[in-house]
Structure 1
Amino acid sequence: MAKRGIILMNLGSPDSTSLPDLRKYLTQFLMDEKVIDKPWLLRSILVKGLIVPFRSPKSAEAYRKIWWPEGSPLIVITNRLKNALAEKIMDPMSISMRYGNPYPKAAYEALLADNPDLEEVILVPLYPHYAMSSFETAVDYMTKAHKALGYRFALKTTPPFYNHPAYINALAESIRPYLQEDFDQLLFSYHGIPERHVLKTDPTGNHCMQSDNCCFTKSICHKTCYRHQVTMTSELVTKKLGLPKSKWQQSYQSRLGRDPWLQPNTQVRLPQLPAEGVKKLLVVSPSFVSDCLETLEEIEIRGKEDFLNSGGESYRYIPCMNIQPLWVEALAGIINEVK
């Protein structure tokens, strides 16, 4: 068997909650052409001249609300996941972030320090679903670093695991205990993306977003269609849980800018739900396997305020799987399937 190493890759985090660190992090994040897919000059004006100066103070305040004594929750949890996986997989393992520390070179060098004769590295993007602004940009980032640094070991990647039976089972079982409570609806809140990103990743050019039923109509584009993949995750998980369609719905969070994004929007739906008779709400965010700003602040804190202030009676955020044993076991299996 080849001498291999494993890199777990997550979104990333600022180094601290200070304003300079937030500016640095947001600039790197939003200048990614796969996140804001505008021409470089326009993107630079938008990001450096408008978005970062405006968002940095607000983001710093939001991070302060969820920051742990050990540091950024996302970084801490990813390291804990690495340690939990090390009990099931004997290969050397490191972590990298798409934005911020640790950078790809540090992750590669950490593996080489443990195994100078490394023959292959398995890159594990911790994104269940394919999107150009998450999975695709992470793989491109690591691939470019691998080539630029001249490493001789092979680089392989685990595919999106949105419908993998072990992932679906782990996600369903992480939700199941909360269904014992009295609730009206379970809301699957996925990270939003612009509609044009869905269209850009459609290799046929004529399937995605063309009909209400396109996510359920077989197509080669489903391999790279975020909308299809999140929809299938919801369908498979609720089937596993035996949850009827009347008890759950799906939305998309974290919208940025005025361009059309996938609908419905979580921030719009939460205040609307109480008036529709949904008084007791459960919310889960399956775009993320590790809790982070988008789950702990946006959903658990602000989402709860929006719902309760609009007449809701109870609101429960269901945490990400983080290092739950079934998830760790599922991920180990997904890694070991890479040939």
Structure 2
Amino acid sequence: MNQHSRAIILMNLGSPGSTEVKDVKKYLNEFLMDERVIDKPWLLRTLLVRGIIVPFRAKNSAEAYRKIWTDEGSPLIVISRQLQQAVQQNFEEPVELVMRYQNPSAASVLKKLHAENPQLKEILLLPLYPHYAMSSYETAVEDIKHQHRKKKYASVLKTVKPFYNNEQFIYALSESIRPYLEKEYDKILFSYHGLPQRHIIKGDMTGHHCMQVHDCCHVASPAHKFCYRHQTVVTTELVAKALNIPEEKLEQTYQSRLGNDPWLLPSTQERLPNLPGEGIKRLLVVCPAFVSDCLETLEEIAIQAKKDFLNAGGESFQFIPCMNTQPLWVQTVACWIRDCFNGSEEMLFQ
């Protein structure tokens, strides 16, 4: 077996082990008990998650997963594995996959890499999240850093930064959308995963910019480095420019709301039934917060959102799949890894 001094880890969110309610409960408990997902004191979080949310949500979530489950398993896991294998073809160094929740875990993959490569000196971590949020990118990175420190591995862990405005990402994303613009459409909806507004305010290092300054996403600030809302706006604007999408045919919304706290607006679920009444009969929907299709895209958008839109009088609804394992996306990921291995720090989180 060849031993290597460098390795690559791709990291994504995670998925239940099966569509059985018990496995969905296990996944939801781990996910929602994360203090960066539900940022409440431990006791209140425990009461909410284990006493209210999971008992009432697990059955419905299991049913939603069954609608999209494949013979190979969870679409997110299957697609992420396929991406891992496609990227591996470009490197001699091992490319591994880690999920923030459930399996494969950071602890198990780090242990495997160091056992198989005793001379391992450098691990490049590429979180598959285009935008920074404490409930996605941050928790993923902090978890693997914790596991790395816990075992006192001698290797150095380097992390690729959020790539929401990266020229190669914007190009790959735009090209994945372009074929769907060839047919007549009334509007293209950029639907991003939502966040509680308090997450945006909490992540503002200045303490006085995000959601406090007029048009804050377009007013320069150090807060933008950690601002999910700003970064999603930038992605939408860059893609719209690359594809020459007219302003009147473009809208940005946020999906997947959980709980009663104020979340980012406008809401995808609230906007969809209103669009047909505004003359939007032919709708395209893309979800740029995700690079791999998952429950939030395949069930929430491609199935449920489509139903809501058509029932409200819409005539056609086209979900645009994530980049998944499209060759241009694989090439982009491989290019970033090569640049990092060749000494470039442009893509690294500082």
TM class, shorter-chain normalised? over 0.9
Aligned equivalents of 2:259, 2:136: Cα separation in 1? 18
SS class of match (2:275):
helix
Number of equivalenced pairs: 338
1 CA distance for matches of 2:336 and 2:251? Answer: 28
SS at the partner of 1:61? helix
Give the AA of the match of 2:167: P
Which among 58, 61, 66 is matched to residue 59 of structure 1? 61
TM-score normalised to the size of structure 1? 0.98
Shift of 1:336: 2.9
Deviation at 1:46, TM superposition (A): 0.4
CA displacement at 1:212 relative to structure 2: 4.0
Q: Which runs of 4+ in 1 moved over 6 A?
A: none
- Which of 204, 209, 219 is matched with 1:207 structurally? 209
CA distance in 2, matches of 1:115, 1:231: 42
Structure 1 gap ranges (5+)? none
Q: Please tell me whether the aligned partners of residues 92 and 114 of structure 1 are also in contact (alpha carbons under 8 angstroms).
A: no
2:101 matched to which residue of 1? Answer: 99
1:43-122 alignment runs, 5 A limit: 43-122=45-124
Q: C-alpha distance in 1, partners of 2:43/2:52? A: 13
What root-mean-square deviation, in Å, do the aligned CA atoms of Structure 1 and Structure 2 show?
Answer: 1.0
Q: Is the CA contact (8 Å cut-off) linking 1:187 and 1:281 kept in structure 2?
A: yes
Query: 5 Å matches for 1:182-331?
Result: 182-331=184-333
Structure 1 stretch 293-302 or stretch 86-95: which is displaced more?
86-95
Report if the CA contact (8 A) 1:178-1:318 is conserved.
yes
Cα shift at 1:24: 0.4
Structure 2 distance, partners of 1:203, 1:211, is 14
Structure 2: which 5+ residue stretches go unaligned? 346-350
Please report how far the alpha carbon of residue 90 of structure 1 lies from its aligned counterpart in structure 2 after TM superposition: 2.5
Question: Per the alignment, in what secondary structure is the counterpart of residue 237 of structure 1?
Answer: helix
% identical aligned pairs: 59
Aligned partners of 1:188 and 1:284 also within 8 Å? yes
| Structure-2 separation of matches of 1:67 and 1:220 | 41
Residues in 2 aligned to 1:147 and 1:235: alpha-carbon distance in whole angstroms = 39
Deviation at 1:178, TM superposition (A): 0.1
SS at match of 1:20: helix
- Structure 1 residue 171 displacement after superposition: 0.2
CA offset at residue 113 of structure 1? 4.3
How far 1:109 moved relative to its partner? 2.6
Residue-by-residue CA offset, 1:169-220 (whole Å, 9 max, x unaligned) = 0000000000001100000000000011001111001111123411111111
Residues 140-195 of structure 1 show CA distances to partners (whole Å, capped at 9, x for unaligned) of 10010101122110111000000000000000000000000110000000000001
> What secondary structure is seen at the aligned counterpart in 2 of 1:337?
helix
Equivalents in 1 of 2:339, 2:215: separation in Å? 32
Aligned equivalent of 2:348: none
- Which has the larger displacement, 85-94 or 222-231? 85-94
TM-score of the pair, normalised by structure 2? 0.95
Partner SS state of residue 176, structure 1: helix
